[in-house]
Amino acid sequence: FDVADLEREALEEGFSEEGEGPAPVVAVVGRPNVGKSTLVNRIIGRREAVVEDVPGVTRDRVAYDATWSGRRFTIVDTGGWLPDAAGLAAAIAEQARMAVDLADVVMFVVDATVGATDVDEAVVEILRRSGKPVVLVANKVDNVATESDAALLWSLGIGEPHPVSAVHGRGSGDLLDAVLEALPEQAPRERFGIEAGGPRRVALLGRPNVGKSSLLNQLAGEKRVVVDSVAGTTRDPIDEEIELGGKTWRFIDTAGIRRRHRENQGADFYATLRTQSALERAEVAVVLIDATEPLAEQDLRIISMVIESGRALVIAYNKWDLLDEERRHYLEREIDRQLHNARWAPRVNVSARTGRHMEKLVPAIETALAGWDARVPTAKLNQFFADLVSSHPHPIRGGKQPRVLFATQAGVRQPRFVLFTSGFLEEGYRRYIERRLREEFGFEGTPIAVTMKIRE
């Protein structure tokens, strides 16, 4: 996979109500000393230079949030990566490939006072093959006299060289205009033909007899509206719009719940199919568990299906009215252990019969959806990883110590993270990362996906 693909996918899925998608990524590539860091500092408007005087020192931060003409983007300085590739040419080529992988637009910086070198030519080859938009920067054009140096860079064959002086700021406005022009359009938000800004979609799941239909009755009361969910098809799921806590919610495939027909043969198969298709159309699942019975294999399977589908999750223990005090205490202690792979899910103990704690359900659903929608800006995320890597580095394995070089949240709904690492991160360390991400940024009620991309 490819970060840009993930980001595109995420964009296609639509974003939180403010419409804030992940910012497009602009990567800055070029040989050492052409002025990449100076240019990045110029663009993010920071005086205190992060410019490295010591060659070969890897900086911890490589990604920064920037805005120009009201448009948000993330700028990545590939000077922060120093791959162990043999020789300068190989190292720069590797940086260029990484930049191409993660960026929507590549800024290729050449030192105009030096002119195009063989290494520059090799980078151009990589950039050209990628098909990614490239903005060519002719840096160190400090005055009019040196502008002709910039014009010579037309010979690289990747379009217009933009003369700038990163040190003095000369030409940087025009350069950023060119970058914005090269950025992809914001993708549309609608999905599944369900109108953006419509009611949020809830799937009520659970094995037979846990109380789904009772819960639906309890929630709906008189105020329910039956809506045909997939107009013009022979599929029969019918949804209901129910008003709860001052908002309208769309409960998915309530016909299936209310009909309560029990297929004799292949019941499991049909149940799984229904669950799967309800999940496809839902944003959040409320999984009901019968508190009076031991946790069943099927309960765990349904929870796993929700997690795998990447939907937000709320767990509701039903029939709480039937429990005596002793059993309640016992359960409270048991649940955490039993649901260890969904510890992050908000939990409510309810009774569909008496209506106990019904009012806690909506806040739990809202919490889960907020986690599902959440997005961490790239710069903040990389600060988090810089701190994490230094305070709790990966154990050394075979003389090497894999580290996180760069991270981006490539998607929301569910939150999806892509980590570029210098080696394979062990399971234990990945679990640690997920736990820390949750501690730091919340993500309550949502499964999060973390993918590694190894750069060696």
- The CA distance from 293 to 208, in Å, is 13
CB-count exposure of residue 13 (10 Å: 0-12, 13-18, 19+): middle
The answer to whether residue 37 forms part of the interface with ligand GDP (CB under 6 A) is: yes
208 versus 428: smaller Cβ distance to ligand GDP: 208
* Placement of tokens 């993708």 in the chain: 187
Footprint (CB under 6 A) of ligand GDP, residues 55-84? 79
The single residue among 318, 349, 408, 409 that binds ligand GDP, judged by CB under 6 A, is 318
The single residue among 80, 96, 104, 140 that binds ligand GDP, judged by CB under 6 A, is 140
38 versus 414: smaller Cβ distance to ligand GDP: 38
Angle in degrees, CA 148, 77, 86, rounded to 5: 90
- The CA distance from 347 to 388, in Å, is 29
Binding mask 207-226 for ligand GDP (x = CB under 6 A): -xxxxxxx------------
DSSP 147: H
Q: Which residues pair with 205 in a beta bridge?
A: 287
The three-state secondary structure class of 29 is strand
* Placement of tokens 């796993």 in the chain: 304
36 versus 347: smaller Cβ distance to ligand GDP: 36
Binding mask 173-202 for ligand GDP (x = CB under 6 A): ------------------------------
Is 247 marked within a binding site?
no
Contact residues for 120 (Cβ-Cβ < 8 A; gap 6+): 30, 31, 110, 156
Closest approach of Cβ 318 to ligand GDP, in Å?
A: 5
* Placement of tokens 């234990």 in the chain: 428
- Token digits of residue 117: 């070198």
Footprint (CB under 6 A) of ligand GDP, residues 236-275? 257, 260
62 versus 244: smaller Cβ distance to ligand GDP: 62
Q: Work out the end-to-end distance of the chain between its first and last CA atoms, rounded to an integer number of angstroms.
A: 17
Is 213 marked within a binding site?
yes
The answer to whether residue 35 forms part of the interface with ligand GDP (CB under 6 A) is: yes
Question: Phi, psi (5° rounding) for residue 392?
Answer: -145, 70
Closest approach of Cβ 137 to ligand GDP, in Å?
A: 10
Q: Report the DSSP pairing between strands 238-244 and 247-251.
A: antiparallel
Is 268 marked within a binding site?
no
**For residue 224, what is the enclosing H or E element?**
strand 224-228
Is 206 marked within a binding site?
yes
Is 97 marked within a binding site?
no
The answer to whether residue 322 forms part of the interface with ligand GDP (CB under 6 A) is: yes
The single residue among 275, 351, 367, 422 that binds ligand GDP, judged by CB under 6 A, is 351
CB contact at 8 A, 50 and 28: no
Positions at the binding site: 30-37, 77-81, 139-142, 206-213, 253-257, 318-321
Q: Which residues bind ligand GDP (CB under 6 A)?
A: 30, 32-38, 51-52, 79, 139-140, 142, 165-167, 206, 208-214, 257, 260, 318-319, 321-322, 351-353
